[in-house]
Amino acid sequence: MNVAPAAPPVMSERRVALIGALLVAIGPVSMALFTPAMPELVRAFDTTEAAVKMTLSFYFAGFALAQLVCGPLSDGFGRKPVTFFFMAIYLAATLLAALAPTIEVLIAARLLQGVGAAVGVAISRAVVRDLFTNERSARIMNVMGMILGLGPALAPTIGGVTMELFGWQAIFLFMAAAGLAIILVVRYAMAETVGRDLSRIRPRALVNAYRVLLTNPYFLLCSIVMGGATGALYTQATVLPFILMDRVGLTPTLFGASMLMQSGSFLAGAVAVRLLMGRTSAFRLVPAGLVFMGLGSLGLAIGLRLFTPTLLGVMGPVAIYAFGIAFVIPAMATAALAGFPHMAGAASSMNGFFQMGGGLLGSIVAALIGDPVAAMATVIPAMGLAAILAWLFWRQLPEPVVPLA
């Protein structure tokens, strides 16, 4: 009996990786471009540090909450239409931010910008799950991670230089150009990967999808690992500008250059993972990543309490932590979606919610602590510990059974 060969995927592994990288990067890049301007905004709007930090906290909130919507919507309406809709929100919000006359309007614009940018994480990982699984999926996640590391690595430098030359409003015009470019790429280079099925977005179906995800220990622990790892990066964005510029004394341009230590280390880790995956499974690399995260956590928890903050004293442990994250993301992102091909959008959204929600929770706790150095020495190590503990429990669980339909 002859068996027909499986049809090739509608997009190649390389194309999915590149498009996915652009989509997933828009959220972190929009955050990183903005951070060099935060101290300047305190003066520009004659406001407080707490108010300016709210622009990031509301961005996190919009990003995290919209994750719960855009993914399931893409299961029902398709990946491309939902991407267009949310990127339109992103563009409108970005232009509103550039024209904001008050800090309150800027905060509202950043909330909406986060809502729009949320589509990138949800759609990119859902598309990967639509077409690929196991090691192929992990390879794509790794490529996405490398480009994701390159974007935020350059963004603070670009943001700092742009602000010093043209003012903080120009940063948002740069974001608007990036958003428009993504819309064009999705329109002309991305193929639709799911059929329209509105039954998937009925309220009962959505509630059931999230109930299944949140009661599945395998998915839940994967998401906590991801939330502790990447959520720490987002939390750092709320405190590092005030440590490095106000305490250490860096200019916006130098601050942007210093962030290369974080994102460059992440990129180096992603490249190392890419090379190692030719010899071993991505899942076997996770423990090494967690060790680096643990070392970075210890460096922050001890070093910032014993010594006056310096550039190397702060960014050294941050770089070690970021290097470890690159070893964790490919396998854990793949594992989180492995058992849910029938609702990949919802699973990707909930996983993304944990990541950005981790950043939101961390930034709130950091704001409550008040002192940015104390917050950095407390919150980031706590998130690293949560990720390590979640992985230790996760590794004891059996792999999920993939439903037939």
Domain CATH number, residue 157: 1.20.1250.20
Angle at 210 between CA 348 and CA 214, to 5 degrees: 90
With respect to residue 158, please indicate whether it lies within any of the assigned structural domains: yes
What's the structural domain count of the chain?
A: 1
Query: pLDDT tens across 83-112, in order?
Result: 899 999 999 999 998 898 888 899 999 999
Note the pLDDT of residue 4. Answer: 42
Contact by Cβ (8 Å): 286, 332 = yes
How far is C-alpha 60 from the geometric centre of its chain's CA atoms? 10
Q: Which positions ≥6 away from 48 have C-beta within 8 Å?
A: 42
**Residue 7, in any domain of the structure:** no
At 3 the pLDDT is: 41
Residues 263 and 39: their CA atoms lie apart, in Å, by 21
292 within a domain of the structure (yes/no): yes
Domain around 98: 13-189+203-394
Low-confidence ranges of the chain (pLDDT < 50): 1-6, 404-405
Any domain includes 402: no
Per-residue DSSP letter, 211: H
Cα(313)–Cα(304) distance, rounded to whole angstroms? 7
DSSP line for 31-42 = HHHHGGGHHHHH
* 227, two tokens: 């939330």
Provide the pLDDT for residue 405: 44
Could you give the CA distance from residue 300 to residue 296 in angstroms, rounded to a whole number?
6
